[in-house]
Amino acid sequence: MQNQIVFITGASSGIGAACAKIFAHAGAKLILAARRWERLQQLANSLDIPSEKIHLLQLDVCDRLAVESAIANLPSSWKNIDILINNAGLSRGLSKLQEGDFQDWEEMIDTNIKGLLYLTRYVVPGMVERNHGHVINIGSIAGHQTYPGGNVYCGTKAAVKAISEGLKQDLLGTPVRVTSVDPGMVETEFSQVRFHGDTERAKKVYAGVNPLTPDDVADVIFFCATRASHVNINEVILMPVDQASATLVNRQL
Ligand code: NDP
Ligand code: 8X3
């Protein structure tokens, strides 16, 4: 992992920030992208690695032209991306489909599907050219099982599953690897974002449960990234011991 270039989207919080820590610790060079610049700076300051091993990008993955320009304008020493972690993503709302909010839908589809596609489309050709690379998409248990009110979010994560499978097929004959890491319940800012800042409602999601931590997920991502170069881990589903499916959770209240 020493001096490998790892590009992490959604690095300002949760699973993305935990990935930054574990890959930094292993000696990687990090490109950390998100919209919240101050949060990226705070993370960079907290990482115990030389500043020349970190490149911050204020980037909205939904903005295709911004993604194109960010990749095209990377300094030459940062261009050869070895690992792309497509982690930026969000859920918005938990309404019945027939009562859903259009803006919530657009945001989830634009971020979770289109943003992931833009990064992939602009980064993967370089990986193919260099005969080296690994795309790690963060899917979800929600891409395997749909739950009430999950409708569009689950749809976006089912799309991530299909896109990961499709990319694996399209890259056959190249050494570029594709992995989907699909967690169940992880305590991050995810539920605060889903419930538009309603902290009390967000807390209830994790009440009485021992959820996964962002570090637990980063640990699995790191494992996938560090197998022998002929080994491709296609898909990993991980969830807390306290969870048996998207909706079946053991709560000690
Ligand atoms: P957080 O809300 O803690 O982190 C989400 C990250 O995505 C933030 O860094 C945020 O940065 C970034 N992000 C959101 N929208 C954009 C955008 N348009 N452009 C760039 N970055 C963006 O949640 P998690 O860490 O939990 O989520 C990470 C991934 O894990 C998501 O794809 C989520 O769907 C998935 N996941 C989460 C689970 C959970 O239970 N928490 C379970 C399964 C999957 P900023 O706002 O600064 O742009
Ligand atoms: C996040 C997990 O179950 O809230 O993808 O959809 S869940």
Query: How far does the centroid of ligand 1 lie from the alpha carbon of residue 173, in Å?
Result: 32
Residues 82-100: pLDDT tens digits? 999 999 999 999 999 999 9
Q: What is the pLDDT of residues 184-200, one digit of tens each?
A: 999 999 999 999 999 99
Which ligand sits closest to the CA of 181?
1
What value does the mean pLDDT take over residues 161-165?
98
Burial of 248 (0-12, 13-18, 19+ CB in 10 A): exposed
Phi-psi domain of 210 (left: phi exceeds 0; alpha: psi -120 through 50; beta: other): beta
| ipTM score | 0.99
What residue type is 252 in one-letter code?
Q
The rounded Å distance from CA 84 to ligand 1 centre is 15
How many angstroms is it from 252 CA to the middle of ligand 2? Answer: 20
Q: Rounded to the nearest whole angstrom, what is the distance from the C-alpha of residue 197 to the centroid of ligand 1? A: 14
Mean pLDDT, all residues of the chain:
98
Task: Report which ligand 1 atom has the smallest distance to the Cα of 107.
Answer: 18
Among the options 118, 122, 153, 206, which is catalytic? Answer: 153
Residues with C-beta less than 6 Å from any ligand 2 atom: 140-142, 150, 246
Q: Tell me the residue type at 176.
A: V
What is the structure's pLDDT at 144? 98
Helix (H) or strand (E) holding 107: helix 102-108
Give CA–CA dist 67/117, Å, rounded: 10
Ligand 2, atom 4: closest residue by C-alpha? 185
pLDDT tier for residue 253 given thresholds of 50, 70 and 90: confident
C-alpha 126/C-alpha 80 separation (Å) is: 7
pLDDT of residue 169: 98
Mean pLDDT within 41-68 = 97
Evaluate if residue 153 carries a pLDDT over 90.
Answer: yes
Known active-site residue 153:
yes
pLDDT of residue 114: 98
Long-range contacts of 161-169 (CB under 8 A, 24+ apart): 161/235, 163/113, 163/116, 163/117, 163/120, 163/137, 164/135, 164/137, 164/139, 164/234, 164/235, 165/234, 167/120, 167/124, 167/135, 168/232, 168/234
Q: Are 193 and 91 in contact (CB under 8 A)?
A: yes
